[in-house]
């Protein structure tokens, strides 16, 4: 079974600094998709970034980027120039790209605090 592990229950970062959140996963599949979701205090789940396993290039969305290491099964999220609005729970998730819509497997999350 696929599992996703986030080893940092809590992290903090100074405003304008950079922080990296860790995620590892276990799978025997060669093709799959990885996601980072953000859950602010409103509890609305918001997609931050997505990575296809067959792509070697790391995904980037503005201040958010990933370091995808397929052999190590690692998928970390880097937040640059941290802002107060980045404070939230961050969840790493995995999905198998079978035909049909397969569900996501989530890690337990990392709570990020941003210090002014």
For residue 50, the minimal CB distance to other proteins (Å) is 6
User: Does residue 92 contact residue 34 with C-beta atoms inside 8 Å?
Assistant: yes
62 binds other proteins (CB under 8 A): no
Stretch that binds other proteins, among 17-25, 64-72, 74-82, 105-113 (CB under 8 A): 105-113
DSSP character string of 72-99: TTEEEEEE-S--GGG-EEEEEEEE---S
Stretch that binds other proteins, among 14-22, 30-38, 61-69, 70-78 (CB under 8 A): 30-38
Among 47, 60, 63, 83, binds other proteins (CB under 8 A): 47
d(CA 92, CA 81): 21
Indicate the pairing of strand 110-115 with strand 10-14: parallel
Give me the residues that bind other proteins (CB under 8 A), please.
Answer: 9, 31-33, 35, 37, 42-47, 50, 52, 91, 95-104, 106-109
């Amino acid at each position: 079974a696929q599992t996703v592990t986030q080893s940092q229950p809590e992290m903090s970062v100074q405003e304008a600094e950079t922080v990296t959140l860790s995620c590892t996963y276990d799978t025997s599949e060669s093709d799959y998709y990885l996601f980072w979701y953000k859950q602010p205090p409103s509890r609305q789940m918001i997609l931050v970034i997505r990575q296809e396993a067959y792509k070697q290039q790391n995904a980037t969305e503005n201040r958010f980027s990933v370091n995808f290491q397929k052999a190590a099964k690692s998928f970390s999220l880097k937040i640059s120039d941290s802002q107060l609005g980045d404070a939230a729970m961050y969840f790493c998730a995995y999905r198998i790209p079978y035909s049909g819509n397969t569900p996501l497997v989530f890690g337990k999350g990392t709570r990020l605090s941003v210090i002014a």
